[in-house]
Chains A and B, each alone.
Chain A
Amino acid sequence: MNPQISAFGMAFLFILGGIVLVLLGLAVASLLRPHRPNVEKLAAYECGEEALGSVWGQFNGRYYVIALIFVLFEVELVFLFPWATVFGQKELIEITEGRWGWFSLVEVWLFIGILVLGLAYIWAKGHLEWLKPQPQDTDYQSKIPAKAYERINRTYQKNKT
């Protein structure tokens, strides 16, 4: 049998082992822990206030765009990994008198170059910009003059040195 299949079998055993660990822990806890639910306890967390409104507020559409960009780059990565394991193999380079390495390298540069164009496009179009917080000026005048803060800073600086 292919040794790689048994290697995956071992990874599967790790998954099963993880599941057993979690279930065992929860089983032990369920024997020990109390179970006294009440309405207050089971309410959604909201800093001690009654929860207001729907959970489903307005989400920023940029999350979706980021996920889209991610999928495309992930596909690129998947194509690059098999190439990365062969382009510098000694035997292949020796058979082709050095042409194999440079040829496949240039091909992949082309591949990456085309995708960098895509990155440049979305960069230029501003899809990578997230909404920045807009600091708002108010006409509120603090009674404490700015000099007071400066003096405090100076004292601390002096104490430090």
Chain B
Amino acid sequence: MVLLLFYFFCFLIVVSAFLMLLTRHILYAAFLLLLTFLGIAALYALVGADFLAVSQVVIYVGGVLVLLLFGIMLTHQPVGGQPSAAPQTESRNLWWGALTGIGFFALLAQVIYKADFTSKAWIVSAESQKRLLNNSSIPHLGANLMTHYLLPFEIIAILLLVALVGATLLASRKS
């Protein structure tokens, strides 16, 4: 059952990602991204990462996607009142584009194929902690944030501060 659902959501992610690339309609692409995000959240849920699954929806769907949509709506000035005008670019390097894409795909496929995931230290340690797999991951996450990853935790706060200041500065410059 879980395996079946896994393949279903994988299919959903891949198809929606492909359609997102193929559609010429920028808002369709944004809404297809929603489907991709939800599919990824479902995959997180399937491996038992409950907090991560919900965070994925909260941050990516509720935050990043809305930001994207606002960005599109504020900048997208369609021709002749029709909002569905496709984005046009000056330069179209079909061959180079295809070559780069295929090359990058080959590289990634190579890496994934060759990597030996089962003997990675963090996977082994996660496998050994069955306690994690039998319940929610949240207390574990919280405890780790406060102990092993304390410095990154505080640095994230500074990173968020910098992002906040920088983003508002950039957004307000033009007006």
Contacts and interface: CB of A to CB of B under 8 A. Distances in A.
Would A and B touch once assembled, by the CB under 8 A criterion?
yes
Interface of A: 1-5, 7-9, 12, 53-56, 59, 61, 63-65, 67-72, 74-79, 81-87, 89, 92, 100, 103-104, 107, 110-111, 114-115, 117-118, 121-122, 125, 127
B82 to A, nearest CB: 9
Contacts of B77: 56
Given A59-B74, A79-B145, A85-B139, 11 more contacts: A1-B2, A5-B45, A53-B81, A55-B81, A61-B174, A64-B67, A64-B74, A64-B171, A65-B171, A74-B62, A127-B168
Contacts of A70: 63, 66
B51 interface: yes
Interface size grouping (class) on chain B? 35 or more
B2 to A, nearest CB: 7
Given A63-B70, A78-B55, A82-B141, A72 B150 contact: no
Nearest to A8: B45
A9 to B, nearest CB: 8
Nearest to A78: B55
Contacts of B154: 107, 110-111, 114
Given A71-B64, A78-B55, A107 B142 contact: no
A89 B168 CA distance: 38
A121 B164 contact: yes
B70 A64 contact: yes
A84 B133 CA distance: 21
A82 B142 contact: yes
Which among B53, B71, B146, B158 has the highest number of chain A CB atoms within 10 Å? B146
Contacts of B167: 65, 68, 72
Contacts of B62: 74
Contact of A114 (B76, B81, B158, B175): B158
B59 to A, nearest CB: 6
Interface in B116-175: 133-136, 138-139, 141-143, 145-146, 150, 153-154, 156-158, 160-161, 163-165, 167-168, 171-172, 174-175
A89 B46 CA distance: 28
- A interface SS class: helix
User: 3 tightest A-B contacts by CB?
Assistant: A82-B142, A86-B142, A71-B63
A61 B175 contact: yes
Nearest to B51: A82
B172 A115 contact: no
B58 interface: yes
A4 B146 CA distance: 24
Contacts of A83: 142, 145-146
Contact of B164 (A5, A87, A118): A118
Contacts of A92: 143
B164 A111 contact: no
A156 to B, nearest CB: 46
Given A65-B172, A74-B59, A5 B46 contact: yes
Given A82-B138, A114-B158, A5 B165 contact: no
